[in-house]
Structure 1
Amino acid sequence: MATGHMLILAAAMLTVVAAPLALGLAGVASARPAAGASPATAPGWRITAASTLLYVLAFNLTFFIQELFLVLPKAFTPGLRPTLYHNNHSWEGTNPLAALFQGTGALATLAVGLGCLWMLRHVRPRSNGARLLLFWMAYCGCFMALPQVVIGALSPGSDLGMAMDYLHLGAGARLGASLLALAAMPLLALLLCRPALGMAPAPGNVGRPGARTRFVFCAVTLPALLGSALVIPFRIPREMLEVVIVPVLVFLPGIPWLQAAAWRVRDARAEGAATGWPLAYPFAAVVALLLLFQLVLRPGIRFY
């Protein structure tokens, strides 16, 4: 294995596993109740259910955006005849630009993620559901794109690997790009941590380190785990590795950081609306999207 590949894998293990684990253990050590802190309040199961449904919705919308923007540049390129599916895309014909356009999907999802993150931190919709959907769109957009940079540096046959080959990026440039992507992952997760805690409906949810950790687990970590499993029906039929690996790669680089860092946000404020978390609308949206994927997009839409 090349030295650059070994460095990338070592940096990935440090970023994805060792560092958030160390931060989380530090939080466990500081989780003793402070004098005068608000009593802990259970966040309730409805926020977990709503967050799970909205994670599934955001994940699949983001993946569709990625595939759509992989197809659109090819559709306007002479010699290429692309087809869009619910979980993939393909094309006929040849043009050297096809390799470059394998990077436009990740670029689009990253742009969507950063845009939603900016809106989440500066616009702040009043509706519980709108804020939570915006949170998951920001998360999925960023963490669906950044791991692809690391994979592209390791695998020339991946989407971004093909784009890097077209741009004639050498080993040093690929190493630098992957290290920048790995460095951005904890930064973006930490930027999302405060908005996540801000969705808490009661001061007792965020009043002390243990309460903050518990709220993030119920509102973010557990929904992402459950949602990663519920994403699978949207992705089949496809090779099992492709069905499973993408949800795993979206979960691993960011959720552990959000969970591990929750205890550190000492000035978190509970800004969630006092009203309950509606489930009917997100459930209907998830079912409608599944039907759209399997009945309309699964046969394929030709862009020629």
Structure 2
Amino acid sequence: MTATGFLSVFAPSFALGGPVLLGLAGLLRRRDRATTPALYPVWDWKLILASMLLYALCFSLIFFIQELFLVLPKAFTPGLRPTLFHNNHHWDGDNPLAKLFQGTGAVATLIVAAICAYWLRRCPPRSTLWRLFAFWMVFHGCFQALPQFVVGAIFPGNDVGMAMEYLQWSAASKTVAALLAMALIVWIAVRLLRPLLALATHAEQIAAPGRRNGFVFRAATLPGLLALPLILSMRVPGSLDQVAIVPVAEYVIGVAWMQAAAWFAIPTRAGDAAPLRSIAIPLLALIALTLVFHLVLRPGIAFY
């Protein structure tokens, strides 16, 4: 079997089967099925709605950053005339460097994710709202970029795949990059659980594996699912890959690993962040960004 054939089989099995097996392992090891009723409100709908809005907002911000940094290098390259849209970009003209610059978007989102991760770890915001914002920026920055290395190793026409072709990476190099990206996907998903669990208001919410699973579902998995229609509404019209495949695939790959790993996450201190008072700021920010996407970016901005 060729390296491409191996990745074509292993990558989907890893992305879909891995979280299922890990989640089943958690169910088999649970010791807290008979816990006493919780003495605190379990369903914090303000947190759920804020997380939903910020999930959608941060997805679109990261996607915009990716497309912007796919366009900017081309705008300064002789012979290329790029145009930025709300769900894609294209360019006219020809220059061999165009293939290389198809990888700059993924690099830019990873850099943004690293900056927000440093912010979240070294000087976490006191506000629950800003912590959620930093959390989802890290999530989307990583999980919009890393899967591209896997897809690029299989399909040369993918953005990162075109950069790999320009750099003349061998099949072995592409396979190593894809496997490393998959390992990072799992590692980052597990690492993100700690700042997410820190948003719990009561220690009992995250004290046992089953309760950690429940909190992650309410704080991330359900909000991410509810955010998908909001994200799709910002990306229409367009082809299926432009509108739906990227947000759905990212949700399945990233959130599934976090949910599956929640049971063995290391508990952290709860109640450290200031209570969430209002969802007005993320709601207004999402409305404003939606208007920018449809009124400004949807017709296209030419960078020449």
TM-score by length of structure 1 reads: 0.94
Measure how far apart 1:124 and its partner are. Answer: 0.7
Measure how far apart 1:14 and its partner are. Answer: 4.1
Distance 1:73 1:260 in 2: 39
Query: Match for residue 16 of structure 1?
Result: 15
Deviations 1:140-183 (A, max 9, x none): 00000011111111111111111111111121111111111111
The equivalences for 1:87-98 within 5 A come to 87-98=87-98
**Aligned-partner residue type, residue 192 of structure 1:** L
Query: Match for residue 30 of structure 2?
Result: 31
Deviations 1:203-260 (A, max 9, x none): 1211211111101000001111111222001111111232110002211222111111
Measure how far apart 1:39 and its partner are. Answer: 4.0
Distance 1:204 1:36 in 2: 11
Matched positions, count: 303
Query: Match for residue 83 of structure 2?
Result: 83
Distance 2:197 2:218 in 1: 11
Contact 2:82 2:302 in 1 (8 A): yes
Percentage of matched positions with identical amino acids: 50
**Aligned-partner residue type, residue 238 of structure 1:** G
Query: Match for residue 220 of structure 1?
Result: 220
What 5-or-longer segments of structure 1 have no aligned partner?
A: none
Distance 2:14 2:193 in 1: 17
What 5-or-longer segments of structure 2 have no aligned partner?
A: none
The equivalences for 1:96-245 within 5 A come to 96-245=96-245
**Aligned-partner residue type, residue 47 of structure 2:** I
Measure how far apart 1:275 and its partner are. Answer: 2.4
* 1:12–1:39 distance in 2 versus 1, CA, 3 Å: same
Distance 1:205 1:272 in 2: 13
- CA RMSD in angstroms comes to 1.9
Contact 2:127 2:276 in 1 (8 A): no
* 1:253–1:35 distance in 2 versus 1, CA, 3 Å: closer
Query: Match for residue 251 of structure 1?
Result: 251
Distance 1:257 1:101 in 2: 30
Name the SS of the counterpart of 1:83 in structure 2: strand
Contact 2:128 2:274 in 1 (8 A): no
The equivalences for 1:50-61 within 5 A come to 50-61=50-61
**Aligned-partner residue type, residue 137 of structure 1:** M
* 1:79–1:128 distance in 2 versus 1, CA, 3 Å: same
Name the SS of the counterpart of 1:125 in structure 2: coil
* 1:65–1:292 distance in 2 versus 1, CA, 3 Å: same
